[in-house]
Chain A
Amino acid sequence: MSQVLEVTNLHKAFGGIKAVNGVSFSVNEGEILGIIGPNGCGKSTLFNCILGQLEPTEGSVKLDGREVTNMRPSELNRLGVSRTFQLLQVFPELTVRENLILAGQEHQGSMLSRFFGARDAGLGEAADRMISFFKLGHLIDAKAGGLSYGQQKLLDAAMAFMAGPRLVLLDEPAGGVNLTMLGDLKERLRAINAEQGSTFVVIEHNMDFVMSLCTRVLVLAEGKVLAEGTPAEVRANPAVIEAYLGH
């Protein structure tokens, strides 16, 4: 099984604060890796460094063996890396359908062909199917800003999959989502992973969600890797219990 993502000795400091301090890990094709850790341990900063939103102080990020450290987010996305953010990041003035078309349109043709081509960039049917897949069919023409928090979370996740990405980084996808929608979201993520073989990295505080979804878990504490292993191994790790999970 080939490595999709390889992070080596990644550091990020804000002045004297080392938010990420020498983190190394890799993610294999088709794997769902969970990243857990207490608030402020550097999880989102790690994501932002991997995805070019922040410039790492040191270290390297490789995608399929190719050096992509400091690559611009838009270029990374076009290489097949997609993400969601901790806070909701849908486009409130666009409809649900337009949000999804937007999420895939830059992967269709050139700038000129997108200007002269179809309004939906040829993604109308794919967007409609994605809307159904995430059970948002009744909201297809509603403006995203008018959706409930949970519905926006589902839309946000759906947008990350619109371009058929090779690697998806999900930052707290379960945050603020009710139990029913949480089940839906987990089911959808599993289905996409199984059908497409897409690789996921998931940051999450909801332990049930992480432990039941992920095949491997990485635990961060104070910017460093504290432990790594299967969900069962991590649950039983005394250092993890001490630092994060509690008794």
Chain B
Amino acid sequence: MTAPATKGSAGLRTTPARAPTLGGFADGTLITLALGAVILWFAPSGMGRYGTYVLSLWLVMAIAVMGLNLTLGYAGLKSLAQAAFMGIGAYITALLTTKTGISWYAAFAISGIATFAVGLLLGFPALRVKAHYLAFVTLAFSTLVWLVMRNEQWLTGGVFGLSNIPRPSLFGFKLDGALAFHRFVVVVTFLLAVLLWWMIRSPWGRAFTALRENPIRAASLGIDTRMYTLLAFAIGSAYAGFAGALYAPLVEFIDPSPFSLSQSFFLLLMVVAGGAGYLLGPFIGALLGVVLPEWLRFAGSLYLIIFAAIVMLLLIACPQGMSGLIERGWAWITGKNKAGGGR
């Protein structure tokens, strides 16, 4: 089928060609991601082992938040199970690398595939229930996964967890050191971010946004809302699985506590505070969630109160999160208050 506008007519005229964006391929987001990766490659210099660990943890959490940003921020599906999916990925990787000796790369792929499949199954309720009802379905799933991690001691080690999780090697080079592993995390995070960037700027991304904004209209335009709902859940969950597969060798010991329901709420906070539906939002959100508490340690026992106050003030001042605030500031500077375009 062709649009009527493609047929010749005296009434049809062509608007001037639009300005190309760096050869029509790269855009500001991709350049920011590439620059960020370069900076983070060198950033740990002089930071010490703990500082390097915090930077790596930030990126790992950013991967999980990227997945939730796709599910919630772009597709508008409320999920409270992201930490549970991260736990599934972490436990699969830990079990496979410690008990079977399988390589981390295979474990990483299996973690992604398994969480994709479980996310696909969890997506089916999303075809029937919406909004807070869907959130409660995922909440129940999250609790179930956490109970399995805690109670099935024969498999997961229960509250004692799993230890001595090995870090991967790359072309024969061991990545045991904090700096080497950090750089490995930078590369994996960059690749996953670029994959998501590609997806969001493709017609899939537009369909996810349509699903969030108006699913009835989307369906009337031929968008298979069921397919895209399931995909948003499955891909978002797979990102949490990938994050878990990196988290396990980063901390080298896992137990159920980082994958509890409260952690899912914390990941949700990172999506909202960073800017839901903004591609770079997860990095800002994870920075607030992981690094800001570290910066506030000088405040001693008050740091959590200060952290909560900062987050509340941010969301009151800018409900669209930090990315929305930055976008508004940029529009004010450049005078493009009604600018459109992708996020």
Contacts and interface: CB of A to CB of B under 8 A. Distances in A.
Interface of A: 51, 53, 72-74, 77-78, 80, 82-83, 85, 89-96, 98, 101-108, 111, 114-117, 119, 121, 123, 125-133, 137, 140-143, 146, 159, 161-165, 188, 191-192, 195-196, 198
A24 B249 CA distance: 67
A164 B2 contact: yes
A195 B209 contact: no
Contacts of A94: 206, 209-210, 213, 340
A164 to B, nearest CB: 4
B217 A89 contact: yes
Given A89-B216, A91-B214, A117-B202, A143 B338 contact: yes
Interface string B166-200: 00000000000000000000000000000000010
Nearest to B27: A119
A130 B222 contact: no
A137 B7 CA distance: 18
A127 B3 CA distance: 8
Nearest to A121: B203
A196 B7 contact: yes
B325 to A, nearest CB: 17
A192 B282 CA distance: 45
Interface in B194-245: 199, 201-204, 206-207, 209-210, 213-214, 216-217, 219-225, 227
B7 A163 contact: no
A191 B9 contact: yes
A115 B199 contact: yes
Given A103-B221, A141-B340, A191-B9, A119 B202 contact: yes
Contacts of A141: 18, 339-341
B11 interface: yes
Contact of B5 (A82, A121, A129): A129
Interface residues of B, number: 41
B309 to A, nearest CB: 30
B19 to A, nearest CB: 10
A127 B219 CA distance: 20
Nearest to B228: A111
A123 B7 CA distance: 13
The CB with the most chain B CB atoms within 10 A, among A74, A90, A103, A125, is that of A74
Contacts of A121: 203
Nearest to A114: B203
Contact of B219 (A73, A90, A143): A73
B301 interface: no
Contact of A106 (B6, B12, B222): B222
B13 to A, nearest CB: 5
Contacts of A164: 1-4, 6
A146 B1 contact: no
Contacts of B100: none
Given A83-B220, A91-B217, A114-B204, A162 B3 contact: yes
A104 B3 contact: yes
B219 A74 contact: yes
16 contacts: A72-B219, A73-B216, A74-B221, A82-B220, A94-B213, A104-B3, A106-B221, A115-B202, A117-B202, A121-B203, A130-B4, A141-B18, A141-B339, A164-B2, A192-B4, A196-B7
B221 A102 contact: yes
Given A89-B217, A196-B4, A137 B15 contact: yes
Contact of B209 (A93, A107, A125): A93
A140 to B, nearest CB: 6
A102 B5 contact: no
A74 B223 contact: yes
Contacts of A108: 203
Contact of A161 (B3, B11, B341): B3
Contact of B341 (A85, A95, A195, A198): A95
B334 interface: no
